[in-house]
Amino acid sequence: YLNLPIYNKDKLVGYVLVYTKNTNFVSESFHELSQIIILGLSLSVIIIFFLRKHIKQLELYLDKFSKIIFNNEVGHEHEHEQKQILNKLPELKPVLIKIAGYTDDLRQINLQLESAKHRTIEIMEGISDGFFALNRCWEFTFANNETQKLISADRIELLGKRIWEVFPQAIGSLTYDKLQAAMFQDEAVHWEAEGFMMTDQSYEYHAYPFNEGLTVFFRDITELKRQHYEYARLERLNLIGQLAAGLSHEIRNPLTTVKGFLQIFGTRPGYVQDKEYLDLMVSEIDRANAIITDFLSLAKANSDNIKRQNINEVIDNIFPLLQADAFNNNKEVVLDLFLVPEIMMNENEIIQLILNLVRNGLEVTPEHGRVMISTYLKRDKVTLAIKDQGTGIPREIQDKIGTPFFTTKDTGTGLGLAISMEIAQRHKASFKFESDKTGTTFYIIFPTDYSTSPADDVTDVLLYP
């Protein structure tokens, strides 16, 4: 039996009774239901398989689409791939059109930026100043061709290196302090310094900070400083030359006459009691003649008797005279001479230069002190160094050193250093000094190649401590 109730508006109104003699009704019903379920599951698997295949294709096209967008490949070059995607996913067409428009705009902007970058690089390469850029880690990110020339280093090898690794000698220098100020105080800085990029060279720097680090312009002003110094020197010499030329003969002739009569009077018996005064007058006339000789020496460019000699031999020859001067004042002259090549020189002028500097040194050195004379070869140049143990040259008068008639001595003429500087100039040598409270060292740096002009040689500037 199968009893099924009948309802009408939630009210039971009757029953349907089914009677059958088939005793396998339940099992047959279950069998039919199982077949229906199996068929449904089979259809579901088939549908899922096809759906999965379609989804995989969609994933593939979406992946291609994302790669095209990510790699900025929207455009005519990948038109075939784009059509394939749009055929499968037409919904993406407006998105692709928008992206294509943005991509074209970005491409134009990139082209403009690239063009501006190339123009900027061309400008940086074309300027006569050295130019380099540093990041916040002090690493070179750019260096123009002039930088390569000025520092004699391959600019490609500079990139990525820290500036303090390339120039360790700069740490603690004025340039180091200025670059630190520009980087960390975010301010433009201008300064001049010697010996940062290349030893014995003078540079002018301009450093400008920006978000990613520093840009630095620099130029070699060694020649400019030499010209300024040379111009001042020539002005001084011009004044002395005019005075020397005009006064030498006019003064010497009457002095010679007076000296002659004084010497005659000194031999006469009637002037015996005045001989001491006559000798003093003759001595003073000789001193006046010596000053006139110094005038002429300073004004006249004497190129006679120039020949190749070893400066150590010249020093050895006059060393007994220097020792005698020192011994008479309870002082000492010490030699520290290294092997050096011969140079072109006028021996008499070099002797005069050495005597001037050593005697000046002995005058300021205290008793039992010493003056040292050194020679050595450095960068193919012969250096003569004369160091005293005085109290140093006051900073406020250092720029007057070498000016004719300027002297701090009670009995000095103010011509000794001026003559020494002129002799150095005639020998195409540079003349420098360093001074502090422990003494002063004068350096005369001679070229081994006499054809080298002063402009090619080490600059003729004074070193201030």
What's the pLDDT tens digit per position in 98-110? 666 666 777 777 7
* H or E, element range at 271: none
pLDDT value of residue 289: 77
Going through 197-305 in order, the beta strands assigned E by DSSP cover: 202-210, 213-220
pLDDT value of residue 463: 38
pLDDT value of residue 456: 41
Residue 212, pLDDT above cutoff 80: yes
Q: What is the share, in percent, of the chain residues with pLDDT greater than 90? A: 22
Residue 33's Cβ-count burial label (10 Å; 0-12, 13-18, 19+) is exposed
What are 230-279's pLDDT values in tens digits?
777 667 766 766 666 666 667 777 888 888 888 888 888 887 788 888 88
Instruction: Judge whether 159 and 140 are in contact, CB under 8 Å.
Output: yes
Residue 458, pLDDT above cutoff 50: no
Instruction: Judge whether 304 and 270 are in contact, CB under 8 Å.
Output: no
Residue 457, pLDDT above cutoff 50: no
What are 351-378's pLDDT values in tens digits?
989 998 999 899 999 999 999 999 999 9
- Is residue 338 very low, low, confident or very high in pLDDT (cuts 50, 70, 90)? very high
- Mean per-residue pLDDT over the chain, rounded: 78
Distance CA 206, CA 187 (A): 11
Tell me the residue length of the chain: 465
Instruction: Judge whether 83 and 76 are in contact, CB under 8 Å.
Output: no
Residue 301, pLDDT above cutoff 50: yes
pTM confidence score: 0.43
What are 24-78's pLDDT values in tens digits?
655 666 667 777 777 777 777 777 777 677 667 666 766 666 666 555 555 555 5
Better-scored residue on pLDDT, 141 or 11? 141
The whole-number average pLDDT for the span 193-210 is 80
